[in-house]
Structure 1
Amino acid sequence: MKRITAHLALGALMRSHMRPERAVPLLHEGMAAALIFAIGFSPITALALSLMGISTLPFASLFLVVPALGIAMGLSCYRITYGRLMLHGFTLGILAVACYDGVRIPFIMAGWMGDFIPGIGGMLVGDGNDRAVLGYLWRYLGNGGGMGMAFVCAFSLLKPLLAEHHQARITARVTRLIALGFGCLVWACLIVTLKISPQGEDKMFVITPTSLLLSWIGHLVFGYTLGCLVHRFRPEGTSKVFPRSE
């Protein structure tokens, strides 16, 4: 009898060890997409607050961008897929803004519009002088990389939440159209910010029909590049996020 009892107890113990542990609940993909979207827009939000005179760029960066970086690192530790996806979007954003500048710089060289990026570097330091290196670092690592991360992560995390027949409709062409819409949204936010800011046009560029058209073209290039690249290079470990049917 004792042997039978011991055998049953040993079997129960072995089954308890073999039973898979319940997985820790993950952050909902929709919430993660919204959070990463906000993280990606923190640099451009800090710049907008500075242009509107609500805060200086160094102060806004300290209380918006720095905490956003901390949250991004926390998300990466919480789920490594989020970290890989954010890095993927950040990289594509830099590539997209490089294509944007490939169109914008010839406009500047032709004298059709001025280069306001060095002025952002001066705003970051707070001395009002043009600082091209700091300005372009902010443009690429902040605005470009951040907005690329926002779009790629939101698109990639929200798409799998749709019904399968809706997902099937989001072809490569539709993806590019969505990205173009994103570029237009960013451009519209820029123009509105400049119009409502007391010194927005003085610090950035004066809104004229020419500057409206040229800046719109640049943002179309930015969005279109993101749309072309979003599924071109898939980070390791994100096969579920990046379907290969496109």
Structure 2
Amino acid sequence: MKKDKKKFAGNFSIWLRSTRNALITEDDALVDCGDCNACCTSSYFIHIRPEETKTIAHINKKLLFPAPGLPMGNVLMGYDEQGCCPMLINQKCSIYPHRALTCRSYDCRIFTAAGIDPGDDDKARIKKRTDQWEFAYPTQQDRDEHFAVQAAAQFIKEHAACFPQGAIPHNPSQLAILSIKVYAVFLKDDNGSAEAEKVSADAEIAQAIIKANEAFEARRLAAKSKDPLIQRK
């Protein structure tokens, strides 16, 4: 069987910083998609926030419904019987300049980075692409940081019981993003030890992860409050 050709995902540390910054500033993810539209054909619900007025204006209101568990005004757009986004016409996004933030920030390399399977059979096309991505490691820092991201993802998956209910996501995308937010808990310092290695109890590591995520979210909210452009996207 012919193997799929590998696709350059970037130098890991550069990608990691760019991704973390995009999560904070809500900038578009810079992904070399080529002709791939796997994320548009993989049965994803698209979350659209109330401030995304331009996006909402370009979508038939019949395709939108209230997002469960979120404040009024947050909506979701579903997919058709084939798992395709209804905005995908002739294999291309028909509202690309006005697509939702969820779409603009999507980067399937998060699964490759975290070592997480993107989902079930309906995510097969995304898994194929994530298997093709290949990061480069020009320095030891690149390797150490990739190890830390994957260690974070593995710990969260294997020790879910150590976290308060609702503290960690079970959605593969959100789990991968969380591991990127809190990877520093597993990153070795100049003395060769990571914060996670300085405590013996899994519950303490879980608390360190929660604190790291809270700190990241505080940075994101601070950036959003200072930059009105973020609020208008």
1 or 2, which has the higher helix percentage? 1
Scaled to the shorter chain, the TM-score interval is: 0.3 to 0.5
1 or 2, which has the higher strand percentage? 2
Q: Who wins on radius of gyration, i.e. which is larger? A: 1
| TM-score normalised by the chain length of structure 2 | 0.33
